[in-house]
Structures are given as C-alpha cells and as structure tokens.
Structure 1
C-alpha cells in the first residue's frame, strides 16, 4: 500500500495489526507446544483489539489532518517485520515470538514519533499524538501481560 496521507497511514497501520493478528492466530493452531499456542492466541486477540482501536481513528480523525500528505516523511519500508503468514510463528519459541511482536510495536511507535516531530499543522500533530499514545499504552500493557505470563 502506498501511503500518501495520514488517512492512508491509519489504514496501513490498521492493516498491519490485522495481518499480524491473522498470522498469529493461524500459527497458534499449528504450534506443538500448548503454552506457546496459548501465547499466540493471546497475542492475536491483542492485535485484533489494536486493529479496532486504529480503525476508530479513521472515523474520528479531523478531515484536515486525514488529508494531509505524509509521503515525504515516511521511509520506503518503514516497518520491518515478518508479514507473510508462512507458519513462521509456529516454528518459534515463546520468547522469540514475544520479542518479535514487541519489536513490531516499537517500530510503529518510532514511526509515529518521527511523524509527530515532522507534523506541520496542529491537527496532524494532534492525530499523531493520539495514535502514538494509543500504541505506546497498548504496547506497555502487552509487555506487562507477557511478563506475567512468564511468571506462571
């Protein structure tokens, strides 16, 4: 997907969370370790929830911000993660899966921070701040929950 506007960015971000959720859920059914399969299902549910949160921004974003162009500020491949669902996660252990999912979120956070710094109109800055706050808060919650799972 080519990202030209903030609306495109929101749709692209929503789509990334949806793809990751679908892949995690698919791999949960294939994983031979029950604990890791449960982790994959949990992560898939978190990604689905984040997809819905990001989708909400498509409807509530200020039209002026949503139509603002961002393509000059986004690297050609802004997020590096495994998005092809080829049973990738079914072959990994719980720690590696957790690390890769957290890394994905950290890349999204860094992209949002970069775009926030470069926002030229207040409406775009506000939109990026809201997206950044949501992503940071949900990632912190996810990290805490993953830590609790390790305690079990």
Structure 2
C-alpha cells in the first residue's frame, strides 16, 4: 500500500492488524503446543480488537489531519508483519511468538514516535500521539497478559 496521507497511514495500520490477526488465528489451529496455541488465539483476538480500535480512529479523526500529506514516511523503513503466510506461527514456540509480536508492535510505535516530531500541523501531531498512546497502552496490556500466561 502506498502511504501518501495520514488517512493512508491509519488504513495501512488497520490492515496490518487485520492481517496479523488472521495469521495468528490460522496458526493457532495448527500449533501442536497447547500453550503456544492458546497464546495465538489470545493474540488473534487482541489484534482483531486493535483493528476495530484503529477503524474508530479513521471514523473520528479530524479530516484536516487525515488528508494531510506525509512526506517523511517515505524515508522510513517499511514495516511488515513478519508473517509471510497465514500459518507462519504454526510451528513457533510460546516465547518466539511473543517476541515476534512485540517486535511488530515496537516497530509501529517507533514509526508513530518518529512521525510525531515531523508533523506539520497540530491536528496531525495529535492524531499520531493518540495512535501512539493506543499502541503503547495495548502493548503494556499484552505484556501483562502474556506474563500471566507464562506463569501458568
């Protein structure tokens, strides 16, 4: 997807969460490790929630911010979910799955953080700060839940 505006960025983020959710869900069905499969199911649901939350940002964001062109994104290394197939996580361990999903979220947060300092209008900066806060909050919640699952 070519990202030219903040609207494109948010749509790209939504699509990324949706893709990751589908990969995690499909992999959960095939992973033979019960703990890893349970983690995959949980993460799939979490990513689906993230997709819906980002959709709300699309609906509620300031149109001025949404239509602002993004020039600095082109200089940023593209982020892709590591999953190259819907069953990417099927043979991974609990720890490797968690590590990879956190890495994905860290990349998204780094992107938002770098773009905040380059936002040319206050509405765009506010939008990015809200998206970053959502990602950070959800990453902390995820870390807490995964920590509890590890303890079991």
Indicate the TM-score class for this superposition, using the shorter chain for normalisation. Answer: over 0.9
Secondary structure, in 3 states, of the residue corresponding to 2:45?
helix
The answer for the alignment partner of 2:144 in structure 1 is 144
- Checking the alignment, whether the CA contact within 8 Å between 1:64 and 1:123 is kept in structure 2 is yes
Alignment partners' CA distance in 1, 2:84 and 2:11: 18
- Would the aligned equivalents of 2:36 and 2:94 in 1 still touch at CA under 8 Å? yes
Measure, in 1, the Cα distance between the counterparts of 2:71 and 2:56: 22
Residues paired across the two proteins, number:
152
1:15-54 equivalences under 5 Å are 15-54=15-54
Aligned to 2:134: 134
User: What is the correspondence of 1:1-150 to structure 2 with a 5 Å cutoff?
Assistant: 1-75=1-75, 77-150=77-150
SS in 1 for 2:51: helix
TM-score by length of 1: 0.95
- In structure 2, the gaps of 5 or more residues are none
Cα deviation 1:74-122 (Å, max 9, x = unaligned): 4364214313225220111000000000000000000000111100100
Contact 1:73 1:115 in 2 (8 A): yes
Bigger CA drift: 15-24 or 71-80?
71-80
What stretches of structure 1 of length at least 5 have no aligned partner? none
What is the CA distance between 1:34 and its match in structure 2?
A: 1.5
Whole-angstrom distance in 2 between the partners of 1:76 and 1:125: 17
